[in-house]
């Protein structure tokens, strides 16, 4: 994020416009997406009065970032885009009432539905885009590579409305914040796919969000949004269906208020789940983050959170005892209406600061942490709630150790023993976005590049491309060691047996689906300092010691020309210096075709390229070093039945003893080790964040070669306890 | 477990209907950024599309701030952390003032400012 005041682009990462374009897929608007850091509505500010390089009014666009632009950012036209207002309908439009029904009988969600995006092209150049409604035969899919109309099972009839449930790029509101078409425009590195961005339409995004709402149930949404080319730019058009409104131009909104809870509909859980967790839609059966794809539900990527509203077994992914008992997100996180306030008064300006605990991964409004706490395990089961008190049952099994454990260990530590969905573990940006799988031309396991594009994986970020990201998919537990099983994200589709990458994953792992164990750490909870389960998200990138900044993605991308394959089929990253960094590691012994930094020589090569980049930007003495950090995200949901808890066998061996979690486990932070790691740290070529200072190479299988960067569970507990005491001391 | 889960099944079936009536929101106009009724203004402007017999009028984008803010305290509601995501604390020198987070470049402790 760029500062408000900047002297040069050397301190300019991304501006507020980029933040809105990227992050508004979940964030509802309002606040900094509407008002600048001086409290002025951004689309009302005269651009001529804006200082040079103001972080709220300058931006690098997507192409700039991916291509590695080193020149100054451009002034952003907020008056054209509009500010992004907070859209109350995101949460308050009843998710079930008055959904539109498309031409195929499908009912997408009421707010922000996935609609088919059509494009009209002349000589291959897009002239107009239509959301949802198919205007006629001269129109094709906007996503000509990844989602052409020809692969649809359905025929398209002019004038009818179509949803597109499996395309995460096609959420109507989200599309408008950064719309693009495939088949023209920019292409990156050595890949074939092209994409063209049409602008940012923040002002129109809420109107597009209403395209799942059909108030008069005539099969057409209340709003219809188009983007059309006028001269050399694209502009948007919003239409309203007249018959949806009454004679006074008013409309009855099916409103979801905070009173609607625990009625068996899980409406609030589904509303919160739009951004936080994966949930299957009970009406159309779609899973907005596909079970085999990726998505940006915040708590999936941090901690593998999905909620199964209709589980077949207690070991089904997403099973949660409290969801099974009918509780909603609001059951615990709602800030209850004070008895002294009348409902009619309360609903007009209700306090929207929902009850929250505290997460170790970020520190937004720490003053609200557990103030008051959400209705957590302790509140309902021991202190004050209606949940059964487990104290006697625990004492009966564990005897005198029971109380000490309940005091020192948060309930979820034992009762969220497994997570059965993927999460992220490692973000490796040390070779920039060079993999660029968002172009979706992947290396073909049979050789060369795939000719067809996979459907977009990373919906909410349609353009940036990504680094080398590893999923946390399972656990490996054998006589020699226990550790986490990580898998390269881009190359597989683990739940889908007819996908070649899915087949590869299943062949290599012998597994289908996911099942991993959280890491145990010390952290602050509502009850003090306790052991809790967590997922350490690990970052590997570059840090410039001179400017004390993490090197920006556009700078990393400027250092790498792309990923190429030599005559032997070996993958390598080609740097701007001409140096090559080869793929030397793989997934479970198989080459993964993703080059990575795994030696000190690799570090020196990329460092030289980055020095060249930073000098080109005007920095006199750049000093980029490889940077490692890890932040823990708590795993607090997905509570399992007692018979799946740690210690369910009535003994202490789940955690203690030779094969217990504490003694036996190595936590994998990065699936690739770096030869000469200690020497690199000593020489200052590698900088490890103080919070994660224990990360080092581990030889798991005893063959004399380090396999991963990790730490033992015991070390993690020791140092997180020390870090906690240190952070308490500083505060 | 909570006693409210012990509601007899036949009442659970009726509960959603009670909620519908209990939560009935008054009819409202959708307003644009200027506070004008979008459909009224669109009809006056008269640019329309007829799609399969459905008449759509071209109008201004609807503004949640104007539409909902007519009765609800939009400013107060959007001060909540879900909307601000760190912006209430954003400052060019935030990182320097909070050395325990290790990084001078951080502008806030949240998404907006540290991402």
Q: Transcribe A389-422 into DSSP letters.
A: P-HHHHHHHHTTHHHHHHHHB-HHHHH---B-S-
User: Does A387 lie at the interface with B, CB-CB under 8 angstroms?
Assistant: yes
Give the model confidence (pLDDT) of A186-200 as tens digits: 765 445 667 789 999
User: Does A264 lie at the interface with B, CB-CB under 8 angstroms?
Assistant: yes
Taking CB atoms and an 8 Å cutoff, what residues of chain A touch B90? 32, 37
Region for residue A29 given its phi and psi (left: phi exceeds 0; alpha: psi -120 to 50; beta: otherwise): left
With CA atoms as reference, report the closest residue to B106 among A21, A59, A11, A545.
A11
pLDDT at B8 exceeding the cut of 60: no
List, for chain A, all residue ranges whose pLDDT scores fall below the cut of 50: 189-190, 291-294, 437-441, 451-454, 456-464, 491-498, 730-731
B21 lies in some domain: no
> What's the rounded Cα separation, in Å, for the pair A233 and A126?
11
For position A507, what pLDDT does the model report? 64
For position A588, what pLDDT does the model report? 63
For position A505, what pLDDT does the model report? 60
Kindly report the nearest CA distance between residue B94 and chain A, in angstroms.
Answer: 10
Integer angstrom CA distances of residue A404 from A505, A532, A596, A652? 42, 15, 45, 14
With CA atoms as reference, report the closest residue to A186 among A312, A300, A89, A68.
A68
For residue B110, give the nearest of A29, A160, A362 by CB distance: A362
Taking CB atoms and an 8 Å cutoff, what residues of chain B touch A224? 49, 51, 56
Residue A661, token pair as written in the block: 């979690």
Kindly determine whether residue B115 and residue A1, on different chains, have CB atoms separated by under 8 Å: yes
Taking CB atoms and an 8 Å cutoff, what residues of chain B touch A220? 51-52, 54
For residue B58, give the nearest of A27, A220, A239 by CB distance: A239
Contact A15, A59 (CB under 8 A): yes
Contact A7, A71 (CB under 8 A): no
User: Does A353 lie at the interface with B, CB-CB under 8 angstroms?
Assistant: yes
For position B70, what pLDDT does the model report? 94
Kindly report the nearest CA distance between residue B70 and chain A, in angstroms.
Answer: 10
Sheet holding B54-59, edge to edge: A139-141, A117-122, A125-131, A223-230, A233-241, B54-59, B48-51
Kindly report the nearest CA distance between residue B46 and chain A, in angstroms.
Answer: 11
> What's the rounded Cα separation, in Å, for the pair A169 and A21?
13
pLDDT at B13 exceeding the cut of 50: no
> What's the rounded Cα separation, in Å, for the pair A79 and A569?
50
Taking CB atoms and an 8 Å cutoff, what residues of chain A touch B6? none
**Which residues, listed in sequence order, are joined to residue A486 by a DSSP beta bridge?**
A472
With CA atoms as reference, report the closest residue to A441 among A186, A182, A192.
A192
> How deeply is B14 buried, as exposed, middle or buried, from its count of CB atoms within 10 A (0-12, 13-18, 19+)?
exposed
For position A189, what pLDDT does the model report? 47
Contact A162, A191 (CB under 8 A): no
Kindly report the nearest CA distance between residue A6 and chain B, in angstroms.
Answer: 10
User: Does A350 lie at the interface with B, CB-CB under 8 angstroms?
Assistant: yes
Gyration radius of chain B over CA positions: 24
User: Does B31 lie at the interface with A, CB-CB under 8 angstroms?
Assistant: no
Q: In sequence order, what are the residues at sequence separation of 6 or more whose Cβ sits closer than 8 angstroms to the Cβ of residue A152?
A: none
B20 lies in some domain: no
> What's the rounded Cα separation, in Å, for the pair A103 and A93?
23
Q: Are residues B62 and B31 in the same domain?
A: yes
Q: Is the dihedral of CA A532, A538, A543, A547 positive or negative?
A: negative
User: Does A341 lie at the interface with B, CB-CB under 8 angstroms?
Assistant: no
Element (DSSP H or E) covering residue A75: strand A74-75
Report ipTM for this prediction.
Answer: 0.91
Kindly report the nearest CA distance between residue B79 and chain A, in angstroms.
Answer: 7
B10 lies in some domain: no
Q: In sequence order, what are the residues at sequence separation of 6 or more whose Cβ sits closer than 8 angstroms to the Cβ of residue A368?
A: A353, A356, B81
B94 lies in some domain: yes
In B, minimum Cα distance to A543 occurs at B103
Residue for token pair 């050399």: A232
In A, minimum Cα distance to B49 occurs at A239
User: Does A259 lie at the interface with B, CB-CB under 8 angstroms?
Assistant: yes
Kindly determine whether residue A37 and residue B87, on different chains, have CB atoms separated by under 8 Å: yes
HSE-CB for A358 with a 13 A CA cutoff: 20
DSSP for A514-561, written as a single string:
-BB-PEEEEEEETTEEEEEEEEEEEEEEEEETTTTEEPPHHHHHHHEE
Kindly determine whether residue B77 and residue A259, on different chains, have CB atoms separated by under 8 Å: no
CB atoms within 10 A of CB A508: 15
B53 lies in some domain: yes
User: Does A235 lie at the interface with B, CB-CB under 8 angstroms?
Assistant: no
Kindly report the nearest CA distance between residue A560 and chain B, in angstroms.
Answer: 22
> What's the rounded Cα separation, in Å, for the pair A490 and A436?
9
The number of domains in chain B is 2
For position A408, what pLDDT does the model report? 94
For position A317, what pLDDT does the model report? 87
For position A288, what pLDDT does the model report? 64
Kindly determine whether residue B15 and residue A264, on different chains, have CB atoms separated by under 8 Å: yes
Q: Are residues B32 and B64 in the same domain?
A: yes
Confidence of residue B7 (pLDDT cuts 50, 70, 90): very low
CB atoms within 10 A of CB A109: 26
Taking CB atoms and an 8 Å cutoff, what residues of chain A touch B11? none
In B, minimum Cα distance to A204 occurs at B61
> What's the rounded Cα separation, in Å, for the pair A439 and A452?
11
> What's the rounded Cα separation, in Å, for the pair A564 and A639?
45
For position A434, what pLDDT does the model report? 63
Taking CB atoms and an 8 Å cutoff, what residues of chain A touch B101? 363
For B100, the domain range is 79-115
For position A545, what pLDDT does the model report? 95
Kindly determine whether residue A260 and residue B1, on different chains, have CB atoms separated by under 8 Å: no
For position A459, what pLDDT does the model report? 39
User: Does B56 lie at the interface with A, CB-CB under 8 angstroms?
Assistant: yes
Kindly determine whether residue A238 and residue B73, on different chains, have CB atoms separated by under 8 Å: no
Contact A518, A416 (CB under 8 A): yes
pLDDT at B14 exceeding the cut of 60: no
Residues 29-48 of chain A with CB under 8 A from chain B are 29-32, 34, 37
Give the model confidence (pLDDT) of B43-85 as tens digits: 999 999 999 999 999 999 999 999 999 999 999 999 999 999 9
Confidence of residue B19 (pLDDT cuts 50, 70, 90): very low
For residue B64, give the nearest of A85, A262, A727 by CB distance: A85
For residue A238, give the nearest of B20, B51, B61 by CB distance: B61
- Residue to mutate among B95, B105, B110, B114, with most A CBs inside 10 A, is B105
Backbone torsions φ then ψ of B15, nearest 5 degrees: -55, -45
In B, minimum Cα distance to A236 occurs at B61
> What's the rounded Cα separation, in Å, for the pair B65 and A202?
13
User: Does A15 lie at the interface with B, CB-CB under 8 angstroms?
Assistant: no
Q: Are residues B58 and B92 in the same domain?
A: no
CB atoms within 10 A of CB A190: 14
B17 lies in some domain: no
B87 lies in some domain: yes
Kindly report the nearest CA distance between residue A699 and chain B, in angstroms.
Answer: 30
Residue A240, token pair as written in the block: 């309203």
**Which residues, listed in sequence order, are joined to residue A631 by a DSSP beta bridge?**
A537
> What's the rounded Cα separation, in Å, for the pair A457 and A424?
14
**DSSP SS3 for A60:** coil
Kindly report the nearest CA distance between residue B86 and chain A, in angstroms.
Answer: 6
Kindly report the nearest CA distance between residue A362 and chain B, in angstroms.
Answer: 6
Taking CB atoms and an 8 Å cutoff, what residues of chain A touch B107? 1, 3
Q: Are residues B33 and B65 in the same domain?
A: yes
For residue B30, give the nearest of A251, A325, A347 by CB distance: A251
Kindly determine whether residue B111 and residue A23, on different chains, have CB atoms separated by under 8 Å: yes
User: Does A283 lie at the interface with B, CB-CB under 8 angstroms?
Assistant: no
A472: Cα separation from own chain's centroid: 14
User: Does B10 lie at the interface with A, CB-CB under 8 angstroms?
Assistant: no
User: Does B86 lie at the interface with A, CB-CB under 8 angstroms?
Assistant: yes
Contact A129, A179 (CB under 8 A): yes
């Amino acid at each position: 994020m760029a500062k408000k005041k900047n002297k040069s682009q050397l301190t300019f990462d991304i501006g507020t416009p980029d933040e809105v374009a990227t992050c508004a897929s979940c964030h509802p608007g309002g606040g900094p997406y509407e008002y600048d850091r001086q409290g002025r509505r951004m689309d009302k500010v005269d651009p001529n009065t804006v200082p040079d390089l103001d972080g709220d009014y300058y931006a690098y666009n997507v192409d700039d970032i991916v291509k590695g632009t080193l020149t100054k950012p451009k002034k952003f036209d907020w008056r054209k885009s509009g500010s992004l207002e907070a859209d109350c309908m995101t949460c308050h439009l009843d998710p079930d009432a008055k959904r539109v029904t498309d031409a195929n009988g499908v009912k997408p969600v009421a707010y922000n539905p996935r609609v088919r995006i059509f494009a009209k092209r002349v000589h291959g150049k897009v002239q107009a885009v239509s959301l949802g409604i198919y205007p006629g035969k001269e129109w094709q899919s906007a996503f000509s590579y990844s989602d052409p109309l020809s692969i649809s099972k359905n025929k398209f009839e002019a004038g009818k409305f179509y949803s597109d449930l499996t395309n995460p790029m096609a959420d109507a509101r989200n599309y408008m914040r950064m719309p693009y078409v495939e088949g023209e425009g920019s292409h990156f590195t050595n890949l074939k796919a092209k994409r063209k961005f049409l602008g940012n339409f923040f002002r129109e995004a809420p109107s597009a969000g209403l395209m799942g709402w059909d108030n008069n149930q005539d099969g057409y949404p209340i709003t219809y949004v188009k983007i059309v080319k006028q001269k050399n730019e694209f502009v948007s058009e919003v239409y309203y269906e007249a018959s949806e409104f009454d004679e006074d131009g008013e409309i009855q909104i099916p409103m979801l208020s905070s009173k609607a809870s625990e009625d068996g509909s899980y409406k609030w859980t589904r509303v919160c789940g739009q951004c936080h967790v994966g949930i299957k839609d009970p009406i159309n059966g779609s899973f907005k983050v596909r079970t085999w794809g990726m998505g940006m539900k915040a708590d999936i990527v941090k901690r593998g959170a999905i909620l199964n509203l209709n589980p077949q077994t207690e070991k089904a992914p997403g099973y949660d005892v409290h969801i099974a008992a009918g509780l909603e997100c609001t059951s615990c996180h709602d800030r209850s209406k004070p008895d002294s306030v009348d409902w009619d008064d309360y609903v007009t300006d209700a306090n929207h600061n929902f009850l929250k605990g505290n997460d170790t991964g970020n520190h937004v409004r720490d003053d609200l942490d557990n103030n008051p706490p959400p209705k957590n395990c302790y509140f309902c089961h021991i202190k004050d709630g209606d949940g059964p008190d487990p104290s006697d049952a625990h004492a009966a099994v564990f005897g005198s150790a029971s109380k000490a454990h309940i005091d020192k260990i948060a309930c979820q530590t034992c009762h969220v023993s497994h997570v059965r969905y993927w999460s992220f573990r490692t973000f490796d940006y040390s070779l920039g976005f060079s993999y660029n799988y968002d172009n979706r031309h992947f290396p073909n396991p049979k050789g060369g590049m795939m000719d067809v594009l996979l459907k977009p994986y990373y919906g909410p970020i349609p353009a940036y491309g990504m680094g080398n990201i590893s999923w946390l998919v399972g656990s490996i537990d054998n006589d020699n060691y226990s550790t986490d099983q990580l898998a390269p994200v881009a190359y597989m589709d683990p739940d889908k047996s007819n996908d070649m990458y899915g087949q590869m994953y299943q062949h290599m792992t012998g597994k289908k689906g996911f099942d991993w164990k959280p890491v145990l750490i010390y952290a602050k909870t509502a009850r003090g300092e306790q052991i809790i389960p967590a997922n350490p998200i690990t970052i590997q990138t570059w840090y410039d010691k001179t400017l004390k900044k993490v090197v920006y993605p556009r700078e990393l991308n400027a250092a790498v020309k792309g990923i190429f394959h030599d005559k032997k089929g070996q993958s390598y990253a080609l740097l701007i210096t001409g140096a090559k960094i080869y793929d030397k590691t793989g997934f479970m012994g198989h080459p993964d075709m993703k080059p990575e930094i795994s030696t000190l020589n690799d570090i020196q090569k990329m460092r030289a390229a980055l020095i060249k980049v930073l000098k080109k930007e005007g920095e006199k003495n750049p000093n980029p070093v490889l940077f490692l950090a890890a932040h823990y995200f708590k795993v607090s949901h997905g509570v399992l039945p007692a018979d799946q808890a740690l210690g369910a066998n009535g003994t202490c061996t789940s955690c203690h003893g030779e094969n217990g979690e504490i003694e036996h486990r190595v936590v994998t932070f990065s699936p690739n080790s770096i030869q000469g790691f200690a020497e690199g740290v000593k020489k200052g070529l590698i900088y490890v964040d103080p919070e994660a200072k224990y990360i080092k190479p581990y030889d798991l299988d005893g063959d004399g070669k380090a396999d991963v960067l990790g730490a033992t569970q015991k070390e993690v507990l020791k140092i997180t306890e020390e870090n906690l005491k240190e952070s308490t001391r500083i505060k | 477990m909570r006693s409210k889960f012990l509601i007899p099944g036949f009442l659970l079936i009726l509960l959603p209907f009670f909620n519908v009536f209990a939560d009935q929101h008054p009819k409202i106009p959708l307003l644009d950024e200027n506070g004008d009724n979008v459909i009224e203004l669109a009809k006056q402007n008269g640019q329309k599309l007829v799609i399969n017999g459905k008449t759509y009028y071209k109008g201004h984008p609807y503004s949640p701030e104007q539409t909902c803010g007519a009765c609800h305290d939009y400013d107060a509601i959007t001060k909540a952390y879900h909307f601000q995501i760190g912006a209430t604390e954003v400052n060019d020198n935030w990182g320097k003032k909070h050395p325990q987070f290790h990084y001078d470049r951080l502008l806030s402790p949240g998404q907006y400012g540290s991402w």
